[in-house]
Copies of this chain bind each other. A is one copy, B any other.
Amino acid sequence: MPGSGKTEFAKMLKEKGFQVISMGDALRKRYEKEARHGEKLMDFAKRIREIYGEGVVARLSIEEVPPSAKLVAFEGVRSLYEVEEFKRLGEPIIVAIHSPPQLRYSRMMSRMRQDDSKDIQELRRRDLDEIKLGIGGVIAMADYVVLNDSSIEEFKRRSEEIIQRILR
């Protein structure tokens, strides 16, 4: 979910030698080439999902994996349809990063330097968009959940522990 801390977790995976593929970047790359004039990224994403199926962004992301990669992580999975696509590469391990909504909102607010309640409504709407895509199903079926509900140090400690369990 937005503001949960998944990018921080991805950074730690990179340090451990994972090839991290940002699914958002894979989508944007295609968007820059093929979007209609004035089309927003999210509308483009919706359109290509309608044309090519719910798993399309996962397939575009798989294209980004360098042939030499041994440990691969995909950041920004949105649905179990995408998880299905990753099964082509092997049995995927799902890691969900969870933060309470109020904490995610206040993090995103300070990142955007905004603080009025109209923005909270906007962030909540964005959450519901993600949920509509099916992100909740991915969290429900996660093999690991890292709770990011206290300090950054504690989050890093928990992340480190999970990464060690995955690498074992």
Q: Interface digits, A1-20 against B, CB 8 Å rule (1 contact, 0 not)? A: 10000000000000000000
Q: List 26 A-B contacts (CB under 8 A).
A: A80-B128, A80-B131, A98-B140, A98-B142, A98-B145, A100-B143, A101-B141, A101-B143, A102-B143, A128-B137, A130-B140, A131-B134, A131-B136, A131-B137, A131-B140, A134-B136, A135-B140, A136-B136, A136-B138, A136-B139, A136-B140, A139-B139, A139-B140, A145-B145, A145-B149, A147-B147
Number of interface residues of A (CB under 8 A): 24
A interface: dominant SS: helix
Residue numbers in B under 8 Å from A139 (CB-CB): 136, 139-140
Q: Which A residues contact B (CB, under 8 angstroms)?
A: 1, 80, 98, 100-102, 127-128, 130-131, 134-145, 147, 149
